[in-house]
Structures are given as C-alpha cells and as structure tokens.
Chain A
Amino acid sequence: KAGVTQTPRYLIKTRGQQVTLSCSPISGHRSVSWYQQTPGQGLQFLFEYFSETQRNKGNFPGRFSGRQFSNSRSEMNVSTLELGDSALYLCASSPGLVGPIQETQYFGPGTRLLVL
C-alpha cells in the first residue's frame, strides 16, 4: 500500500495570509490526525477526523481548522497566519478503530510551513 502523502511539502507565506494543507491517508484508513511540530513545543495534537467528522481536538485556536472528505482525504486550514505558526505539520492515518483494539498511526512526510 502507498503511504501517507502530504502536499505541498514546503510552503512560504506571509503574516495574515491563510494556508491549506492536504493529506491523503493510507488506502482503507478512515482516521486522519494532524500534528504541529516545532523545536520549542515538540509534537502537539491539532485534531483528528474520522468518517468526515472531527472526533478529537487539541488546544489550538479557532484559526486552525480541518475537514475530511468522503474518500478520507483531509485538509487543514490555518487562517490569519502568525509568525509562530511556522512549523512542520504532520498528518497521520490509522484504520480508525477505537476501544480495546490496537491502533497505530502512520505518519506522512510533513509540510514545512514558513511564515514571514
């Protein structure tokens, strides 16, 4: 199976702009999670989508939003970009099973966003 893919891989924006990142999960995976990775804060959970619904949400402001399509592909949008939004944004997919069933997330290569 093909792995998790993310586009674009690199992005440069200026403050105040908005950006949309895309993630295509592994075929058959219904859960997509997004993480922000920065040197200072490490990996922080943004949100998770499952079957087109947001199932979990981290502690990020409303400028960060996402959605999932019927084919499980997901997009993440950041509006009114700030310098502090510069980070590596990682997407991870998993089958989406919950409860006492083993789950593993498989990560994409990430999108590196630089805000100037």
Chain B
Amino acid sequence: AQTVTQSQPEMSVQEAETVTLSCTYDTSESDYYLFWYKQPPSRQMILVIRQEAYKQQNATENRFSVNFQKAAKSFSLKISDSQLGDAAMYFCAYRSSNTGNQFYFGTGTSLTVIP
C-alpha cells in the first residue's frame, strides 16, 4: 500500500508571512494524483489544491502553491501571505489512478497563524 508521510506535526507562521508544509510519499506507480486538504476546527475537510503526477507544472491556487518533485516523491505546500483563517490541520493525500477512490492520507500538520 502507498504511504504518505508528513514529518511536521505542528507548524506556526506569522500573519502575512510564508510557510511551507512538507509531504513525501512512497509508491511504485507512475500515474497518480496528490492533494492537500485543510481541516479547520469546525472539522469540515476542504480541498486546498491538487496535482496530477503526469503534469510537470506545479499547481497553484491563489495564495497556495505546491512544489511537486516526482523523482524525490515530494509534494510540499506553500502558503503565501498567511491569514488567520489558514489556521487548520493540513492533510496530504495520495490517490492512485488505477484503484478507484481510495485515498491515502498523511497524519497531518497543525498550522497555527500568529497575529
């Protein structure tokens, strides 16, 4: 089974600054999808950004961008101009392109935004 590792249980960032959350994964597949989800204290999981492994260009969504290094099996999330509303648990997730909708999640990184 694929494994997803988030080595930073907790991170903090000053408001308006930039923070990068790390994620690595282990797979023997060549085609797959990667996601970052955000889970605020209210508990609703929200999609932040997604990346197809066959695309070399890094995905970007407003203040959120990823650094996808396929050879290194690394998928980090950069949050620019951090806002108080960014405070949440962030989960990295892997989905195979072949096995339907089975997602593998990392253990999460708790992000604190300091005013």
Contacts and interface: CB of A to CB of B under 8 A. Distances in A.
Interface of A: 31, 33, 35, 42-43, 45, 48, 50, 55-56, 58, 88, 90, 92, 94, 96, 98-100, 102-110
* Majority secondary structure of chain B interface residues (helix, strand, loop or mixed): loop
A56 B106 contact: no
A90 B106 CA distance: 16
Given A58-B102, A105-B103, A100 B31 contact: yes
Nearest to A110: B43
B62 interface: no
A103 B34 CA distance: 10
B12 interface: no
Interface in B24-64: 31, 33, 35, 37, 42-47, 50, 52, 54
B43 A103 contact: no
A1 to B, nearest CB: 15
Contacts, number: 67
A107 B50 contact: no
B90 interface: no
Nearest to B104: A45
Interface of B: 31, 33, 35, 37, 42-47, 50, 52, 54, 91, 95, 97-108
A48 B103 CA distance: 10
A80 B76 CA distance: 41
A94 B47 CA distance: 12
B97 A104 contact: no
B108 A56 contact: no
Contacts of B102: 33, 45, 48, 56, 58
